[in-house]
Structure 1
Amino acid sequence: MIEKQRIGTVGLGLMGSSIATCILAAGHEVTSLVKNLEERENALKRILVFLKEMYAEGLLKEIPEAVIQRITITDDVSLLAGHEVVLESIQESVSDKKQIFQSLETVISPTAIIGSNTSAIPVSILQGELKYPQRLLGIHWAEPAHITRFMEVICGKHSEADYANRFIVLAETWGKEPSLLKKDIRGFITNRIMYAMLREAFYLVENEYATVEDVDRSLRNDMGYWMTFAGPFRFMDLTGIPAYLTVMEDLAPDLNRAVQSPDLLRKIVGNGAKGISNANGFYPYTTETAARWEKKFIEFSYDIRRLAEKYSQTETE
């Protein structure tokens, strides 16, 4: 088992800072590579806030001000020499990610794991041009990365299973419950299923079957009620499998199969909507209500983590 080694990260934006927080809270020292050292102060402030939240919620036993002393932020890639795990979390750009990987390969060992935080780019594409592509894995985190138990570990065309297995063992010590994708597929597990759901949600709204509010209400009170506990296959076990075959044979031909993005989504993005971050989304917000929704989301994330741990699948097999 890999234990309490120094872990490397690349990128300290919002997600990168959350990832670094997760690793620090698990007891590791962290070396974070950034493009510009001017990012350092803002990143440290974000990470300290995250650590203080974890401490207040009982997920961190150490004093946050002491924990944050374990991170080194640098723009010098050579400081990642000797690290056996380096996790990249920069923008979703194939060329930028490949450039980072090539730089890493000049300083880390041939057996060190490189993990790429991506939600859409096929890992096999990212492995191209690497000297040692077998050690590159896709690591799909959920936001906030320091709270959620979600993680997908994706093998590309050239990945060797041993690297994935090693990383899963490590991630479990961080409080994660990783899923393994043995083969590369665009969107992985959750994004493929979520975007199929989103396509149908937009179809219902655009064709005036239901409003945005009613779609959200139904999903919150049905799928949102059982999904954390069971997942779709366990839920079918719990509620009787044959009915799903009957409904699927009747309903599947009627589901939306559009290959283009929804008109409503293109329209709202074209009008400048970013969501909570700029108080402009599918729902009306003021700056104050947007901030309250963001705060409620963090509180909910901690609550749902506690509930998921209470009904841990590994304890009930």
Structure 2
Amino acid sequence: MERIAVYGAGTIGACQATLVIGNGLPCTVIGHSEEGLARCRAAVSQNWDDLIREGLASEKNKRAAMAALTITNDASLLTGSSFVFEAVSEDREQKCQVFRTIGRYAANNAIIASCTSSIDAEELAAMMKYPERLLIAHPFQPVHMLPLVEVVRHNKTSDETLQRTIALLKRLHRKVVLMNRSVPGFLVNRFAQALFREAIYLIEEGITTAADIDTAVKYAMGMRYSSIGLMEYFDAVGFDLEKRIAENVYPDLCDTKDIQSLVLQGLASRKTGQASGGGFYDWSGKDADDFRYRKQRPYFEGIREWCMPGE
């Protein structure tokens, strides 16, 4: 069995740890400040409270899971770890330092799975003394709830590293998509950016509103592609009809390569989204707990697959 650690005590690290201990496996989280460790422990505890509220876990499960969790600033506790999720910020210098620290303390055959969402796998591999033991395992937030992980290899990733990573992710009940090389945004963020660009364009042109775009996505696209895949749908419609639709739509799609004016205006006015209280929506009147719940709701059923501790 892999001995699992998470390097990074932020939101991704806390949720990754929740997933590991939620499947009955011990986990060590390495942070860098006492404040960060406290936030991490509180976040993991809140994740369990949400599961308990939904009837998906018990207080007994939570106690057993929290007992399997070590949160520390002492990197020497990586000693013996055979699989490390790297979940620090998207700072190349910091990641390079973290890779060196993991190499100093972790097991000789330890795999490093970077949770990066934007850095090329080849670039990360160049930071490694043993690049064959590195790949990207990019999760999605909330990490412990949303089952998909994008696994990205580079030209030196060994088959053993790939096989061990996929085996562990399946043990954690993750759905894996494999990419043989990096492209900016990997898969999901490429799709998301294409949608964001078109949506912002439609708002800027006065064609519709953010609320109506969200309604269209939630009650058509989101529902459709949650039961059948995007390319399954393309095949179901058929190449002939999709070709005719594309001929009508492609010429009118937004194809800007620049950041759009609505985003730049938001940055200038400091209305930058939920954290600032305003963005495309006025967040001052929104219920933060309700929003957190709605973000998790589609994934609650998958928790029933977990091998809960304390059973």
- TM norm structure 1: 0.88
Task: Say yes or no: does 1:9 pair with 2:6.
Answer: yes
Identity across matched positions, percent:
26
Contact 2:99 / 2:127 at 8 angstroms: preserved in 1? no
Describe the shift of the 1:50–1:238 C-alpha distance in structure 2 as closer, same or farther (beyond 3 A). Answer: same
Q: What's 1:302 paired with?
A: 297
2:273 maps to a residue whose letter is G
Question: Is 2:250 the counterpart of 1:255?
Answer: no
The CA deviation string for residues 70-129 of structure 1, in whole angstroms up to 9 with x for no partner, is: 111222222112111000111111111111011111122342110111111111111113
Per-residue deviation, 1:18 = 0.8
Two-structure CA RMSD over aligned residues (Å) = 2.2
**How far apart, CA to CA, are the structure 2 residues paired with 1:237 and 1:169?**
31
Pairwise CA distance, 1:265: 1.0
Q: Give the match's secondary structure for 1:210.
A: coil
Residues 145 and 303, structure 2, Cα contact 8 Å, conserved in 1: no
How far, CA to CA, are the matches of 1:120 and 1:39 in structure 2? 23
Letter in 2 for 1:157: N
Q: 1:16 to 1:231 in 2, by over 3 A?
A: same
Q: CA deviation at 1:171?
A: 0.8
Q: Name the residue aligned to 1:41.
A: 38
Shift in Å, 1:307:
8.3
Q: Which residue of 1 aligns with 2:308?
A: none
CA distance in 1, matches of 2:77, 2:303: 38
For 2:194 and 2:246, the matched residues in 1 are separated by 15
1:31 paired to 2:28: yes
Report the Cα distance in structure 1 between the residues aligned to 2:120 and 2:161, rounded to whole angstroms: 17
Question: Which ranges of structure 1 fall in alignment gaps of 5 or more residues?
Answer: 311-317
Determine the structure 1 residue equivalent to 2:229.
Answer: 231
Q: Which digits, 9 at most, give the CA deviation of each residue in 1:151-196, with x for residues without a partner?
A: 1111123222331222112111212111111112111000111101
Q: 1:91 aligns with which of 89, 105, 109?
A: 89
Kindly state the Cα deviation for residue 217 of structure 1 after the two structures are TM-superposed: 2.2
User: Are residues 1:132 and 2:130 paired?
Assistant: yes
CA gap of 1:159–1:201, structure 2 versus 1, over 3 A, is same
Match for 2:190 among 182, 189, 192? Answer: 192
Say if 2:170 is the partner of 1:175: no
Tell me the equivalent position of 2:109: 111
In 2, Cα distance between the equivalents of 1:146 and 1:186?
A: 24
Q: Is the 8 A contact 2:145 2:302 kept in 1?
A: no
Q: Secondary structure of the residue that 1:105 maps to in structure 2? A: helix
Aligned residue in 2 for 1:222: 220
* Contact preservation (8 Å) 2:121, 2:181: no
Q: Is the 8 A contact 1:157 1:184 kept in 2?
A: no
- Take 2:121 and 2:294, find their aligned partners in 1: how far apart are those partners? 30
Paired with 1:204 and 1:55, the residues of 2 have a C-alpha distance of 41
With normalisation by structure 2, the TM-score equals: 0.90
Which protein, 1 or 2, shows the higher relative CO under an 8 Å CA cutoff with sep ≥ 6? 2
Distance across 1 between alignment mates of 2:72 and 2:287:
34
- Alignment correspondent of 1:22: 19
Identify unmatched segments of 5+ residues in structure 2.
Answer: 306-311
